[in-house]
A and B are shown apart, each in its own frame.
Chain A
Amino acid sequence: MLNIVWIGLLVGSVAIAVLTGNVKEVVGSVTDSASSAVKLALGFVGVMALWLGIMKIAEESGLIQRFTRVIAPMMRLLFPKIPENHPALGSMTMNLVANAFGLNNAATPLGIRAMKDLDDLNTKKGTATDEMCMFLAINTSSVQLVPAGAIALLAAGGSADPTAIVLPALVATLFSTLVGIVSAKLLGRSRAFAEQPDGGPGHDGTA
Chain B
Amino acid sequence: MTGLPDFSVTASHVIFLAFLVGIPLYGFAKGVKVYECFVTGAKEGFEVAVMIIPYLVAILVVVGMFRASGAMDIIGSVLPHAFESLGLTPDVIGLALMRPLSGGASLGMFGEIIARYGPDSYQTRLGGVITGSTETTLYVLAVYFGAVSVRRTRYALHAGLLADAAGICASVAVCLYFFR
| Chain A residues within CB distance 8 Å of chain B | 1-2, 5-6, 9-10, 12-14, 16-17, 19-20, 22, 25-26, 28-30, 32-34, 36-38, 40-42, 44-50, 52-63, 94, 97-98, 101-103, 106, 108-109, 111-112, 115-116, 118-119, 122, 125-128, 132-137, 139-142, 144-151, 153-155, 157-169, 171-173, 175-180, 183-184, 187-188, 190, 193, 195, 197
The residue among A29, A56, A178 with the most chain B CB atoms within 10 A of its own CB is A56
Residues of A within 8 A of B74 (CB): 16, 19-20
* Beta-carbon contact of A168 and B151 below 8 Å: no
Interface residues of B in 141-163 (CB under 8 A from A): 141, 143-145, 147-160, 162-163
Interface residue B175 (Cβ < 8 Å from any Cβ of A): yes
Within 8 A of A (CB), among B120-144: 120, 124-125, 127-138, 140-141, 143-144
B133 to chain A, nearest CB (A): 4
Instruction: Report, nearest first, the 5 A-B pairs whose CB atoms are least far apart.
Output: A56-B41, A147-B132, A49-B45, A33-B64, A180-B163
Say yes or no for B26: interface residue by CB 8 A criterion: yes
Q: Does B82 contact A (CB under 8 A)?
A: no
24 contacts between A and B (CB under 8 A): A17-B68, A20-B69, A20-B70, A20-B73, A38-B57, A41-B50, A42-B49, A49-B44, A49-B45, A54-B20, A63-B30, A125-B150, A133-B155, A136-B156, A141-B135, A150-B127, A153-B114, A162-B5, A164-B179, A172-B132, A175-B170, A176-B163, A176-B167, A179-B165
Neighbouring A residues of B134 by C-beta, 8 Å: 141-142, 176
**Binary contact readout B1-26 vs A (1 if CB under 8 angstroms, 0 otherwise):** 11011001001100110011001101
Contact B147 A115 (CB under 8 A): yes
Looking at chain B's contact residues, the main secondary structure is: helix
**Chain B residue total in the interface (Cβ 8 A):** 106
B80 is an interface residue with CB less than 8 A from chain A: no
**Please, how many angstroms separate the alpha-carbon atoms of A103 and B5 in the complex?**
15
Task: Check if A163 sits within 8 Å of B65, measured CB to CB.
Answer: no
Query: With a CB–CB cut-off of 8 A, which chain B residues contact A63?
Result: 23, 26-27, 30
Residue from the list A54, A150, A162, A187 in contact with B19, Cβ < 8 A? A54
Cross-chain contact A61 with B32 (CB below 8 angstroms):
yes
Residues A183 and B45 in contact, CB atoms below 8 Å apart:
no
The CA-CA distance from A150 to B42 in the complex, in Å, is: 32
Q: Which residue of A lies closest to B132 (CB)?
A: A147
Alpha-carbon separation in the docked complex, A20 to B68 (Å): 10
A171 and B170 in contact (CB under 8 A), knowing A14-B69, A57-B24, A127-B150? yes
For B166, give its contact among A48, A58, A106, A180 (CB under 8 Å).
A180
Bound CA–CA A175/B169 (angstroms): 9
- Is B49 a contact partner of A127 (Cβ separation < 8 A)? no
* Chain A residues within 8 Å of B66, by CB: 9, 12-13
In angstroms, Cα B24 to Cα A59, docked, is 11
- The chain B residue with its CB closest to the CB of A21 is B70
Is there an interface contact between B163 and A153, defined as CB atoms closer than 8 Å?
A: no
Complex contact A57–B34 (CB within 8 A): yes
Which of B4, B23, B163, B178 is close to A163, meaning CB atoms less than 8 Å apart? B4
Whether the pair B140, A37 counts as a contact (CB closer than 8 A) is no
Q: Is the CB of B135 within 8 A of A140?
A: yes
Known interface pairs A25-B69, A29-B65, A136-B141; 4 further A-B residue pairs with C-beta atoms within 8 A, sorted by A's residue number: A1-B157, A40-B56, A147-B131, A159-B119
